[in-house]
Amino acid sequence: MTAGDRDGPGEPVIGVGSDLVDIERMRAALARTPGLRSRLFRPAERAYSDQRADPTERYAVRFAAKEAVMKSLGLGLGEVAMFDIEVVRAPSGAPEVLLHGRARALADARGVTRFHLSLTHSQTSAHAVVIAE
Task: List, in sequence order, every residue forming a beta bridge with 22; answer none if it has no partner.
Answer: 125
Residue 7 lies in a domain: no
The pLDDT-based confidence of 77 (bands split at 50, 70, 90) is confident
Which of the four pLDDT bands, split at 50, 70 and 90, describes residue 127?
A: very high
Residue 21 lies in a domain: yes
pLDDT beyond 80 at 7: no
Considering its fold, how many domains does the chain have in total? 1
Q: 119 vs 34, 54, 92, CA distance in Å?
A: 24, 18, 15
Q: What is the CA radius of gyration of the chain?
A: 15
Q: Note the pLDDT of residue 10.
A: 66
**Tell me, what CATH number does 76's domain have?**
3.90.470.20
Residue 24 has pLDDT above 80, yes or no: yes
Residue-wise pLDDT tens digits, 46-65: 999 999 999 999 999 999 99
Q: From CA 56, how far away is CA 58, in angstroms rounded?
A: 5
> How distant, in Å, are the alpha carbons of 42, 62, 128 from that of 66?
12, 6, 9
- Does the structure show a pLDDT above 90 at 2? no
Q: Among residues of the chain, what percentage have pLDDT more than 70? A: 92
